[in-house]
Structure 1
Amino acid sequence: MFLKLMLWIIRVLILLLVVVSILPEMPSGQWWIRLWEFPRLQLTFVLAVVLLLLIFHAWLKRPRKEHAVLLVLILALAGWQLSHIVPFTAVWPNEVPTADAQTLENQSTFKVLTANVTYKNDSYSEVVELIQREDPDLLLLIEIDSEWEEGLAPLNERYEYRVGEVRGEGLGIVLWSRFPFLEQEVKYLVSERRPSLFVTLDIPGIGPIRYVGTHPVPPGLKDRITHNDETTERRDSRVRDAELMLVARHVQQDSDNRWIVTGDFNDVAWSDTTKLFADLSDLKDPRHGRRLLSTYHAERPFWRYPIDHLFVSDGFHLVDLDRIRLKGSDHFAITTTLTAARKDQAQPEASEDEHQKAQELVEEGTEDASEHNVSD
């Protein structure tokens, strides 16, 4: 009886794992479908547990044909999940080259820190102390409300330049910089509630660099869909996807310049949307060939995903990449030290199908934002 029950548990678990592995491949923006793009590492762990159960059952019952079929399914599913994760390990080629000693002797370096502080967090002084210790040249902080603005006031003495918007409900975003702004603009790409920052920086020894800080809406977030506070609905991924595609278009249209795009994308590094964003913009992920750097949830190690990102165009080499705990926040901060390198001036080479897919995402996201009263 025990062995029969174990076999049924194994069968049911494998069936469920097949379903949740297939769901993200469906062309849908529903949050409960897109959700399954996130836990690929966790699903791989579950598959390893199921594999051990299967081996134990085969050892007790003696191997038979069904064991072989289930084994093939488990290995195929594990291979599929791991294929998304392996590019973020040392076995994969680097997308952003590592700066060599000669480059560092001849070029200036600068440090970027990106962090979602979590607006319900009140560890203002501790965050200020961390920032002062890390001493970034560019500092993007997300979910800045009026309380956080007051708590971060000491940064205004440390940084001469600042742009952004302070808003409640986790919607604020502010950039502090040691470098002067040649251009600066707060854009509302899809939703009037979600600002993104577009800045041209003048970095001594490097020249002008285009910079974007963004924080698209997370799928699954409960959002009001009418003016009645009791009427809520979980957001799907369409508005987020549209915003990322529009950022990619901005980069693509000015690909001769160097670009840095960073922020809390609310999307994992291996998702189809993030990969399409990278293909359209021809931006590179410095985690490729190095490590995963999962940033959320900081307090729950098993449920942790890489959703805070920094992408760069060619024309940069990586000096350092790290993840830092931010007191009181459910996100880790990421720090990236970069130096300039020769830019090849190559144009993005996204396919027509990718451009068509991006256009569909923009249209669907804009329509979705309008329908749910978040576009104005």
Structure 2
Amino acid sequence: MLLKLLLWVIRLLVLLMVVVALLPLIPSGQWWIRLWDFPRLQLTGALVLPVLFLGVHAWLKHPTKEHALWGVAILAIAGWHLTHILPFTSVWSTEVDTAELKPGENQTTLKVLTANVTYTNDHYAEVMAMVRREDPDLLLLIEVDSDWAKELAPLDEAYAHRVGEVRGEGLGIVLWSRMPLLEQEVRYLASERRPSIFATFDAPGIGPVRFVGAHPVPPGLKERTVSNEDERRDSRERDAELMLIARHVEQDPDSRWIVTGDFNDVAWSDTTKLFAELSDLKDPRRGRRLLSTYHAKYPWWRYPIDHLFVSDGFHLIDIDRVKVQGSDHFGLSTTLTVGRKDHGESEASAEEEQEAEEMIEEGVEDAAEHDVSSSQTEGKP
């Protein structure tokens, strides 16, 4: 009786693992489908449980064809997850070439720090100390509300240039730059509630570099709708915002680009891969390290959702996570140097362009349904 029960547990576990592994293949923006894009590393680790149960059952009952069948199914599930994870390990080839700082050589470098500080966090002094230690040339902070803006005011002494918007409810985003900003603008892409930063800065030894800082809405977030009912958001608005940024980059392939922020999407998702295809931007983590940035407090439940993408006019010196005291995110610290720009254009197919267009239309429509002016602008730095 116990052995029969154990076999049914194995069957149900493996079938459940198959379902959650394949759910993200469904072309739907529903949050309960899209969320299964995130825990591929955790789901791979969870396969240990059916493997253990299967081994115990086979040992007690003697191996059968059914044991072999479920074993193959478990290996197939593991392989499917690993095809998403392995590109972000050292076994894969890199997208962004590595550059090394040579002693005595005057090499131009550019350091970018991206960090979601979490608006409910009050560890202001520790975060300021972290920023001073990292000493970035470009600093993008996300979820900056009025309290954070007040505590971060001393940064204006170290950074001559600033652009962004201070907002409550985790919607604020601000960029500080040591380099002159030739252009600067706060844009609302899919939603009037979600600002993004578009800027062009003049980098010494590099020239004009175009920059985008973004923080799309996370799928599964509970927000109040126009009907005053709380509802969990799906991924359509997020996907539309990422596609609109990709389209913006795609229209100017000759420039050097840096796009960074809390994308609320994992590095291996179809949406992020489509974003990279359309924009022709590269992920410095590919072929190196996963660098999962959320959730900072739970090592066993982390995903890579904070990103920095660059054009082919950059080489990588270093990329690493940074502890942001009190935040549920790690920061992402990236040091770049100038590389050869080949002025190539996106090689996205007509089907991918059409898919992006559909994402934009659906996301803008979804945002319009949810845009409720419950959060007001608190200030524009």
Q: Shorter-chain TM-score: which interval?
A: over 0.9
Question: Could you list the per-position Cα deviations for residues 68-91 of structure 1 after superposition, in whole angstroms to 9, with x for gaps in the alignment?
Answer: 110111000110011000000000
Q: CA deviation at 1:6?
A: 1.6
Equivalence map 1:261-280=2 (5 Å): 261-280=259-278
In the alignment, what sits opposite 1:139? 139
The residue type equivalent to 1:302 in the other structure is: W
In the alignment, what sits opposite 1:301? 299
Q: CA deviation at 1:375?
A: 9.3
Q: 1:211 to 1:116 in 2, by over 3 A?
A: same
Q: 1:164 to 1:303 in 2, by over 3 A?
A: same
Indicate the SS of the match to 1:321.
strand
Determine if the alignment matches structure 1 residue 121 to structure 2 residue 118: no
In the alignment, what sits opposite 2:36? 36
Indicate the SS of the match to 1:105.
coil
Q: CA deviation at 1:313?
A: 0.4
Indicate the SS of the match to 1:83.
helix
Q: CA deviation at 1:56?
A: 2.0
In the alignment, what sits opposite 2:85? 85
Question: Could you list the per-position Cα deviations for residues 216-242 of structure 1 after superposition, in whole angstroms to 9, with x for gaps in the alignment?
Answer: 0000001111263xx110000000000
Indicate the SS of the match to 2:105.
helix
Indicate the SS of the match to 2:68.
helix
Instruction: Give the 4+ runs in structure 1 shifted more than 6 A.
Output: none
For the 8 Å contact 1:94–1:288, the answer to whether it is kept is: yes
Q: 1:236 to 1:375 in 2, by over 3 A?
A: farther
RMSD of aligned C-alpha atoms? 1.4
**Structure-2 separation of matches of 1:328 and 1:165:** 22
Question: Could you list the per-position Cα deviations for residues 287-310 of structure 1 after superposition, in whole angstroms to 9, with x for gaps in the alignment?
Answer: 000000000000011110000000
The residue type equivalent to 1:132 in the other structure is: R
Indicate the SS of the match to 1:16.
helix
Unaligned regions of 5+ residues in structure 1, if any? Answer: none
Matched pairs, number: 374
**Structure-1 separation of matches of 2:137 and 2:277:** 28
Q: 1:344 to 1:151 in 2, by over 3 A?
A: same
For the 8 Å contact 1:252–1:281, the answer to whether it is kept is: yes
Q: CA deviation at 1:101?
A: 4.7
Q: CA deviation at 1:59?
A: 1.4
In the alignment, what sits opposite 1:193? 193
For the 8 Å contact 2:193–2:371, the answer to whether it is kept is: no
The residue type equivalent to 1:286 in the other structure is: P
**Structure-2 separation of matches of 1:306 and 1:100:** 25
For the 8 Å contact 2:101–2:317, the answer to whether it is kept is: no
For the 8 Å contact 2:226–2:369, the answer to whether it is kept is: no
**Structure-2 separation of matches of 1:162 and 1:372:** 30
**Structure-2 separation of matches of 1:296 and 1:179:** 30
Q: 1:95 to 1:372 in 2, by over 3 A?
A: same
Q: 1:104 to 1:321 in 2, by over 3 A?
A: farther
Q: 1:218 to 1:107 in 2, by over 3 A?
A: same
Q: CA deviation at 1:154?
A: 1.3
Q: 1:6 to 1:282 in 2, by over 3 A?
A: same
For the 8 Å contact 1:163–1:184, the answer to whether it is kept is: yes
Indicate the SS of the match to 2:223.
strand
**Structure-2 separation of matches of 1:264 and 1:337:** 18
Q: CA deviation at 1:53?
A: 1.8
In the alignment, what sits opposite 2:19? 19
For the 8 Å contact 1:191–1:374, the answer to whether it is kept is: no
Determine if the alignment matches structure 1 residue 356 to structure 2 residue 344: no
The residue type equivalent to 1:347 in the other structure is: E
**Structure-1 separation of matches of 2:80 and 2:373:** 37
In the alignment, what sits opposite 1:173? 173
User: In percent, how many aligned pairs have the same letter?
Assistant: 70
When structure 1 is superposed on structure 2, of 364-373 and 75-84 the one drifting more is 364-373
Question: Could you list the per-position Cα deviations for residues 129-161 of structure 1 after superposition, in whole angstroms to 9, with x for gaps in the alignment?
Answer: 010011011000000000000111111111111
**Structure-2 separation of matches of 1:128 and 1:101:** 27
In the alignment, what sits opposite 1:371? 369
* TM-score normalised by the chain length of structure 2: 0.96
For the 8 Å contact 1:191–1:375, the answer to whether it is kept is: no
**Structure-2 separation of matches of 1:269 and 1:74:** 24
Q: CA deviation at 1:26?
A: 0.2
**Structure-1 separation of matches of 2:131 and 2:31:** 34
For the 8 Å contact 1:104–1:339, the answer to whether it is kept is: no
In the alignment, what sits opposite 1:53? 53
The residue type equivalent to 1:124 in the other structure is: Y
Question: Could you list the per-position Cα deviations for residues 105-139 of structure 1 after superposition, in whole angstroms to 9, with x for gaps in the alignment?
Answer: 35300110000000000000110001001101100
Question: Could you list the per-position Cα deviations for residues 12-59 of structure 1 after superposition, in whole angstroms to 9, with x for gaps in the alignment?
Answer: 111111111121000000000001000000110111221122122111
